[in-house]
Amino acid sequence: MDTETFDYVIVGGGTAGCVLASRLAMASDASVLMLEAGGSDLRPMVQLPIGYARLLFDRGVNWLYETEPDAGLGGRRSFWPRGKVLGGSGSINAMVYMRGLPHDFEDWRAMGNIGWGYEDVLPYFKRAEDHDNGDPRYHGRGGPIHVTDVSRDVHPICHRYLAACEALGFQATPDFNGAQGEGVGIYQINTRSGSRSSSANEHLRKARRRRNLEVRTKSLTTRLTFEGKRASGVRYLRGGIEHAVTARRQLILCGGAINTPQLLQLSGVGDGARLQAMGIQPVHDSPAVGRNLQDHLAVSYFYGSTLPTLNDQLGPFFGKVRAALRYLATRRGPLAMSVNQGGGFVRSDPAQAVPNLQLYFNPVSYTRTPLTERKLLSPDPFSAFLISFNACRPTSRGELHIVSADPAAAPAIRPNYLSTQHDLDEARAGCRLLRRIAATQPLADIITGELYPEPHVRTDDDLLEDFRQRADTVYHPTCTARMGTDPRESVVDARLRVHGLENLRIIDASVFPTVTSGNTNAPTVMVAEKGAAMLIEDMGS
């Protein structure tokens, strides 16, 4: 087969890949190729903010992964949607803009990752931003990705929820990503003028005008190629035909926390003994590939309401019409937002050194349809809302591994949820806190009753069992090719170079040393911005 050559080859056109492709193409005349297994993001439900729930089960934009049965969830499997489209999971997520808390990055640096402390990464968060009105000490203006303050548009009962949290002693914060990350408040989101503000929209759209950037969609990378310990290129399938491409300067993996370790293992980089047992000749023994998997696990409590909620706006036909007309006229309203409107970062008890729980408030509910049928425009036919939480920094560690040498076969994903006493304790504490919030005025004043988990669930054991039966991922898998100093315990170094191999970098959420305290899209963008700066710096060396 013919082989093409580019200076830089990027595997994966997701959140990180789009940032990287744009920055590299704009920095010089070096040739850049980006390969994406999915297709275009120019779909109405991708661009419409509230359309994201329609994408959770859309095979056209989603890998539709499922975990192995997990003992921590009572033997249940967990559904893991991941973006298979330009923009990746940033094109199908709920758009909450949350960087994580400063101590997350201080911990990264303390683990030996020099250059990844909070003050080190802050400039890259700012570089990525076009923020509505943030404090310039913490926020950027004029960057690619827009951050919208939706506080004037949130549902009115959101303020009752926040007032109840404050009555419990939790401080209010106007900006989780500013001077005071701890507390409760309104989540900012990644939208621009009522449309999704993703790295595909904001980075890639402009960069594709450059002649030195080529983007190929519907291109499934099947393996990396090596010359000894040097990564030379990739093989990929497009239209049923295998193609080969070589990377003159650098090959960069941006497949995310699932696809990046999967591709490494398919290519002979991973636990050598396990790969040999599957008939794959090891190129480099790196046992950390696919291990150290971390994720956020959440549960929701549902409450009936005496006041109207989004159920009353988005459920009836004419309510949908009014919401659509408002959106078309003003680009505002419920269709222009996420339903994750309020929440915060709090300590379950004063003994906690840092916030250990993330809270969410949704002025909408879905109690009569299973997860596979839920749509944000078809909520319960009565007034209700939900409150939820997840532990910020779980200590359980999972893994993923390929099940065959077939690149089209999904890997086995084993989250290993609730496998530490720390995580069990935080699950109980979070459940108790949700009940305390619901019992506090002024939120308690409008509650007609608890719909789930139901009042008979009272003891710590009851709460934990309910958590096992109903909790699920909030779609934040990370750390499967983590950054660190020990090649046996990590996959990349602090400059994102794969230990023991040449010409190969990983720049995506798989390199997080530990999961951040909040939503993971914004820190993934930061990793891509910092990784791009490293590559551009190398251009001049």
Give me the active site residues, please: 476
In whole angstroms, give the CA distance from residue 51 to residue 41: 13
Residues 6+ apart with CB under 8 A from 170: 183, 184, 344, 346
Give me the DSSP letters along 421-463.
HHHHHHHHHHHHHHHHHHTSTTTGGGEEEEEES-TT--SHHHH
In whole angstroms, give the CA distance from residue 437 to residue 229: 56
Nearest-10 Cα torsion for 425, 367, 314, 520: 30
Give me the DSSP letters along 95-154.
-B-----HHHHHHHHHTT-TT-SHHHHHHHHHHHEEESS--TTT--SSSSEEEB--TTTS
In whole angstroms, give the CA distance from residue 53 to residue 221: 28
CA distances from 437 to 162, 301, 308, 443, 526 (A): 9, 11, 19, 8, 33
Q: Residue 298 belongs to what H/E stretch?
A: strand 297-305
Q: Tokens at residue 482, please?
A: 């983590």
414 contacts 67 by C-beta, under 8 angstroms: yes
126 contacts 144 by C-beta, under 8 angstroms: no
In whole angstroms, give the CA distance from residue 367 to residue 170: 29
Residues 6+ apart with CB under 8 A from 206: 22
Q: Tokens at residue 72, please?
A: 């921590």
194 contacts 327 by C-beta, under 8 angstroms: yes
Closest CA to 83 of 72, 93, 75, 74: 93
Closest CA to 445 of 157, 191, 238: 157
**Strands, E assignment, 148-229:** 183-186, 191-192, 195-196, 213-216, 219-227
Closest CA to 186 of 336, 342, 359, 345: 342
